[in-house]
Amino acid sequence: MTDFGFEVGTRLDGRHGRTGVLTTPHGRIATPAFVPVGTKATVKAVLPETMREIGAQALLANAYHLYLQPGSDIVDEAGGLGRFMNWPGPTFTDSGGFQVMSLGVGFKKVLAMESVGVQRDDVVAKGKERLAVVDDDGVTFRSHLDGSKHRFTPEVSMRIQHELGADVMFAFDELTTLMNTRGYQEKSLQRTHEWAQRCLDEHERLSAARKHRPYQALFAVIQGAQYEDLRRKACRDLAAMRGGSGTEFDGSEFDGYGIGGALEKSNLGTIVGWCCAELPEHKPRHLLGISEPEDFFAAVENGADTFDCVNPSRVARNAAIYVDDGRFNINTSRFRRDFTPIDETCDCYTCANYTRAYIHHLFKAKEMLAATLCTIHNERFTIRLVDRIRDSIDNGRYDEFKAEALGRWQGSRQPH
């Protein structure tokens, strides 16, 4: 008995998309669902109660950040992530793999500019130090906070995520980019599979040792970049994988699958489709890191059930606002005397009570409330969009809703 399950609801005709219900020890998630990100166990500038009010069904935190600060042992002592941050609903943590290799490495910052557009496997710019080194056993990296040296292996990631205690965890994988060569992608995929097996074994062992805690589900992560054969093989191999810990959980499967890694916007739907054609129907599928309306439609109709992204709150702090008619910046002077809400059709607290002129003023005056009000709106916009996609599948009018929503989104990048 694991208290974790997934049930498929309405299927989208002729495609992999579906609605469903994901059950966790901390509650249910109606899917498709957007999962807002609270990197360090907080959605920046917003109370957890407010996240609940705007319809967030679950939150995702980052294992890498919480491992460095305050330490996963402290979160464990607090009773797990949800209790620590006063969020009673379901929680997710990522494996830390993405952050150790992107933040640790200084990935984007140290890319050599002359290598853009060229496939190479070692693209550190001249004069910059590589801050993370991957080997077959794990990753050694330096903290982005204080430069201290750390090492993540599949077993370390599992221990950290069990201590954090989220309902859904992800297997530790290697991050590659579209710039890596095909040869490197193959080698990396093999490594990610070996790590997936080690994660599953360690997860079984920790689940048996920590029976005083609610069951935590483990999702495998599918890599393979833009290569169809690699993506499909990764899905088949991970779906067939079984744990071998010798504990009472021995022989268990992954509880779900995360679709990760290098994805170009133009082929996102195609890649999700390849994966979902291979993955078992009765297991949930999470797509890591998307937040734009086009991407949600592409991902949902090709079979993804849940998504996370830090963008709605990150861009809100820079005065960027999402509405049905596109994205705009509330910081520009034309809003100085605009006494209408951000979006008259939005049901969020910000739109019910505040004007564009006031929010514009808060940004100009560098007031903290600006971030709070804009984050509330952007998170509500994103959650509500995915909720409307889910309803449209259940009501048999997905294609109509998609045409209408994308028509408005792409038709105008400025509000009236």
Active-site positions read 94, 308
Strands (E), 100-180: 132-134, 139-142, 149-152, 168-170
Q: Is 157 annotated as a binding residue?
A: no
Q: Is 14 annotated as a binding residue?
A: no
Span between the terminal Cα atoms of the chain, in Å: 54
**What is the C-alpha to C-alpha distance for residues 18 and 390, in angstroms, rounded to an integer?**
8
Closest to 106 (Cα-Cα) out of 151, 144, 49, 149: 144
> Is 379 in contact with 371 (CB distance < 8 Å)?
no
> Can you tell me whether residue 124 is helix, strand or coil?
strand
Strands (E), 263-397: 285-288, 306-309, 320-323, 326-329
Tell me whether residue 31 or residue 313 sits nearer to Zn ion (CB atom).
313
**What is the C-alpha to C-alpha distance for residues 58 and 82, in angstroms, rounded to an integer?**
10
33-36 vs 306-309, strand pairing mode: parallel
> Can you tell me whether residue 101 is helix, strand or coil?
helix
Tell me whether residue 227 or residue 358 sits nearer to Zn ion (CB atom).
358
**What is the C-alpha to C-alpha distance for residues 142 and 303, in angstroms, rounded to an integer?**
37
In whole angstroms, the minimum distance from the beta carbon of 287 to Zn ion comes to 25
In whole angstroms, the minimum distance from the beta carbon of 384 to Zn ion comes to 9
The single-letter DSSP state of residue 219 is E
Q: Enumerate residues 6+ apart whose C-beta is below 8 A from 348.
A: 54, 376, 377, 380, 381
Tell me whether residue 93 or residue 350 sits nearer to Zn ion (CB atom).
350
Tell me whether residue 206 or residue 348 sits nearer to Zn ion (CB atom).
348
In whole angstroms, the minimum distance from the beta carbon of 359 to Zn ion comes to 11
Q: Is 351 annotated as a binding residue?
A: yes
Q: Is 261 annotated as a binding residue?
A: yes
Tell me whether residue 340 or residue 410 sits nearer to Zn ion (CB atom).
340
> Can you tell me whether residue 326 is helix, strand or coil?
strand
Q: Which two tokens stand for residue 352?
A: 């019910």
In whole angstroms, the minimum distance from the beta carbon of 341 to Zn ion comes to 7
Tell me whether residue 233 or residue 314 sits nearer to Zn ion (CB atom).
314
Q: Is 94 annotated as a binding residue?
A: yes
Q: Could you list the residues that contact Zn ion (CB under 5 A)?
A: 346, 348, 350-351, 377
> Can you tell me whether residue 188 is helix, strand or coil?
helix
Q: Is 199 annotated as a binding residue?
A: no
Q: Is 269 annotated as a binding residue?
A: no
In whole angstroms, the minimum distance from the beta carbon of 408 to Zn ion comes to 16
In whole angstroms, the minimum distance from the beta carbon of 350 to Zn ion comes to 5
Amino acid at 6: F
132-134 vs 139-142, strand pairing mode: antiparallel
> Is 359 in contact with 373 (CB distance < 8 Å)?
yes
Q: Is 309 annotated as a binding residue?
A: no
Q: Is 289 annotated as a binding residue?
A: no
In whole angstroms, the minimum distance from the beta carbon of 292 to Zn ion comes to 18
Q: Which two tokens stand for residue 138?
A: 């794990």
Neighbouring C-beta atoms of residue 265, cutoff 10 Å: 11
**What is the C-alpha to C-alpha distance for residues 104 and 234, in angstroms, rounded to an integer?**
26
Closest to 295 (Cα-Cα) out of 407, 392, 386: 386
Tell me whether residue 51 or residue 68 sits nearer to Zn ion (CB atom).
51
Binding-site residues for substrate, in ranges, read: 94-98, 173, 223, 261
Binding-site residues for Zn(2+), in ranges, read: 346, 348, 351, 377
Binding-site residues, in ranges, read: 94-98, 173, 223, 261, 346, 348, 351, 377
